[in-house]
Structure 1
């Protein structure tokens, strides 16, 4: 097995069970890769807030012994036994710091594991590192005064996205095998697209969260991986009812069944196609990659149906910020201490949310949500899934505050959040959404598509996502363990 650092989890587990590979070997590979490529907080990938080398190796050694025993006497093994997992810093670990990039939280210690961490550990996963995010996970880039700049392994001048940018960067760079993420406006899917990885936004409540903010119906915690199968595996481990989250639902540990022949499985599936989700400006390279995915699905036997949506960026922004003005914005103000001490992007978010709350109250916010949800339901009435881009732009600068929107073609965006087509599906948060790679732009940064399902139809998005993965050629992973250490690239500097 070449380049163990980029080995997928499903293959690794198969090799563990057959004793062809030890969990210690895999952990050593990703640890060595992280030491080689992570670099410093200003110019490197910089995807981890902290690592647990000693604790993780002890767990890997224990897993290796368990596989030896299982091979001898047939005892079953846990579903993630021995697999390295990096957890997003906001996912609390008992006895460890929980700071969320905020100076006001410096030194704060968690008293308990987050439900997703608890389930990773129960499943035998080896938590070996924690991943970076922007302050309070409120941006689609990943940098903060506390943790520095996290960069995209495919092009270090570009962001890996946010807020789960550290997770996407670590996966793409071979610094972990699986990662946890979260999503309130695209924070799993945006970095998945920018890093060529796979991210899943489950229906609201399918994966338990941590109260009180898990009660926010735009939110969701979830999995990221390098393949659809890996992401489905981690989703099964994380999903299901949990006593700490009364909104959680459904069975725990039951995987979505992926077809043996994913290309054949999309024959007859009706795929709705919307490149612009109404009137979003979309970069030509992103649009072409999305159309290419649709053409490949059609050639495989799917029926591709153009879908019209009456959405404008201004209306979507009004809808989501009306919501944020009621919950997330006030929560940030309460938690952050001195607003003036925050990163500029966090100050901008709080100011936007405050203005939105003055314009639209809670009842108006609910009406705005209901209108978008109804229009999506109407648009998808005759299709099985909706296909659209994840990001409208090909990249954003890694260290930018993005207080102004970028240019897309000859159109200037009012807000950089308009560069992502993700937040409408947090408004319609009962819909599962799988983000999968669609190709790469000329700057080397990957592009991605979203596969949006009907409410609670998880199997449908994984079926189509697996077909997209099988049909779209994938480039060799960046920063392979037998290559050179990374350095900043000057070609095609991303938008600021």
Structure 2
């Protein structure tokens, strides 16, 4: 088997048994990146020399029997949005071309301390404000499964490099589905932590919709990275002091109650997506869970009406401040960025939005008094074009079944694959827990991973 096909968990075990060298693994993913990048265009920059030095240092630590970090020797790519002092921070925008970060994101510091071999950074749409990944600065990022389609966004580069085999772990962030959308379209696993579980940087560390999180090729891999990046940080007053360790260990689902909701109250779900979601529900039943089909009074229009005042108070003004109303600067923005900012500016007032968010949460909370997790599709459609303009916000957001769980941002959501659509693009489901019940979604995800044996199968690879 090609080494780049290993999961992070498998590689870590082989390192400890001295059956594999971090240097060998790094060279495999570097070669794979060189082979796939001309097609998928998911990497903004590579740090090959420093990565080779880090891999050699990890190899020496294993050889000497020294204490090693949780991610020791594991190749990992970072979403470019997460700053690293002294390195580029361009946000996919011509307006930021050449910008150098002055501080480092806390999760990057934790990843470095855990011994990961950081060897590259991944593409995003401009200012991470679209569910696709293309920009004037970096061009079009394509889906390894079918390059005519997008890997999703905004963590689209991270999803694409994982699917292609260009790295073993990656970081993402999620304000409307930006981890879960690429996880679904790329056939990988991603986790949107509940608000405050993973520390962030101002101003979005105080945004209840927003969370940085892990992406990988197995539930255990994502749990491994999540345990590294979570926990309180002195720079983030919103970060939780409680440590909620998660696990990819497989256990029984006997007695676990699962609520299955196909359309979340009105999303127009593609038949292939629905069929694959029901396939997941059947697998959970076979694994011992009790699965009931339920309804929720949401639907895309209510979601958008509830969410836009929030975006109008946070993300919209952030984008407007960058262009500062200067015509030449506004012209350099991507059309989807301008469309997002305009929609946010026209949204209702923030206080009314907060009232709507509380009303939105209540039926979910009442439903979940009787269930451990909710299962639903991640995206209603089976794919978006790689160059989808995303200027019609309502048309695009009406396909994204991720946003409801940013509106109620204190819930954990694990996104896993559910199958393949006829166009060759993977589909996915969301495993949604009650507020701050991270362990439940990983328990269900690990059991589902074993029962389905889809994305851990050696055949689960794009033909790229």
Q: Could you list the per-position Cα deviations for residues 133-176 of structure 1 after superposition, in whole angstroms to 9, with x for gaps in the alignment?
A: 00000000000000000000000000000000000000000001
In 2, the alpha carbon distance for the partners of 1:307 and 1:76 equals 49
Partner of 1:270: 257
Which residue number corresponds to residue 69 of structure 1?
64
Residue aligning to 1:383: 371
SS of equivalent residue, structure 1 residue 86: strand
Q: Supply the distance in 1 between the matched residues of 2:322 and 2:335 (Cα, whole angstroms).
A: 16
Query: Is the Cα contact below 8 Å between 1:239 and 1:251 reproduced in 2?
Result: no
Match of 1:216 in 2: 207
CA distance in 1, matches of 2:27, 2:16: 18
* Structure 2 residue runs without a partner (length 5+): none
Question: Which of 89, 95, 98 is equivalent to 2:86?
Answer: 95
> Matched residue of 1:304: which SS?
strand
Answer whether contact 1:431 1:452 (CA < 8 A) is retained.
yes
Q: Tell me if the contact between 1:49 and 1:147 (Cα under 8 Å) persists in the aligned partners.
A: yes
Within 2, Cα distance between the matches of 1:251 and 1:4? 36
2:227 maps to what in 1? 236
Residues 1:130 and 2:121 are matched in the alignment:
yes
Partner residue, 1:319: 306
Counterpart in the other structure of 2:9: 10
Distance in 2 of aligned mates of 1:404 and 1:201: 25
Residue 426 of structure 1 is aligned with which of 402, 406, 412? 406
The 8 Å contact of residues 199 and 231 in structure 2, kept in 1 or not, is answered as yes
Which structure 1 segments of 5+ residues have no match? 406-413, 481-485, 487-496
The corresponding residue for 2:158 is 167
Q: Distance in 1 between matches of 2:171 and 2:5?
A: 17
Aligned to 1:35: 34
- 1:33-432 equivalent positions in 2, closer than 5 A: 33-39=32-38, 44-70=39-65, 75-251=66-242, 255-259=245-249, 261-262=250-251, 265-336=252-323, 338-356=329-347, 360-404=348-392, 414-432=394-412
Q: Contact (CA 8 Å) 1:197, 1:226: kept in 2 or not?
A: yes
* Whole-angstrom distance in 2 between the partners of 1:258 and 1:7: 16
Coordinate RMSD, CA, aligned: 1.3
Deviations 1:173-215 (A, max 9, x none): 0001100000000000000000000000011010011112221
Q: Which stretch of the first structure deviates more once superposed, 396-405 or 28-37? A: 396-405
- Mapped to 2, the partners of 1:202 and 1:402 lie a distance apart of 26
C-alpha distance in 2 between matches for 1:396 and 1:286: 14
The range that moved more, 461-470 or 221-230, is 461-470
Note the alpha carbon deviations across 1:81-132, whole angstroms, 9 max, x for none.
1111100001111110111011111111112211111110010011110000
Per the TM alignment, residue 251 of structure 1 is displaced from its structure 2 partner at its CA by 4.9
CA distance in 1, matches of 2:116, 2:51: 10
- d(CA) in 1 for partners of 2:183 and 2:275? 19
Normalised to the residue count of structure 1, the TM-score between the two structures is: 0.90
Counterpart for residue 491 of structure 1:
none
Could you report, residue by residue, the CA deviation over 1:40-96 in whole angstroms, capped at 9, with x for unpaired residues? Answer: xxxx201100000000000000000000011xxxx3211001111100001111110
Structure 1 Cα separation of the partners of residues 105 and 304 of structure 2: 30
Deviation of 1:233 (Å): 0.3
Structure 2 length-normalised TM = 0.96
Q: Is the 8 A contact 2:172 2:178 kept in 1?
A: yes
Q: Partners of 2:437 and 2:204 in 1: how far apart?
A: 25
Which one is further off, 470-479 or 202-211? 470-479
1:385 Cα deviation (Å)? 0.4
Per-residue CA deviations over 1:313-339 (Å, capped at 9, x if unaligned) read 111011111110011000011124522
Q: Is the partner of 1:387 in helix, strand or coil?
A: strand
Instruction: Tell me the matched-pair count.
Output: 457
**Cα offsets for 1:219-258 (capped at 9, x unmatched):** 0000000000000000000000011111111356x74134
How far apart are 1:479 and its partner, in Å? 4.8
Indicate the SS of the match to 2:398.
helix
1:469 equivalent to 2:453? Answer no
Contact 2:220 2:247 (C-alpha < 8 Å) held by counterparts: no
| 2:436 match | 456
Q: Which residue of 2 aligns with 1:410?
A: none
User: Per-residue deviation at 1:341?
Assistant: 2.1
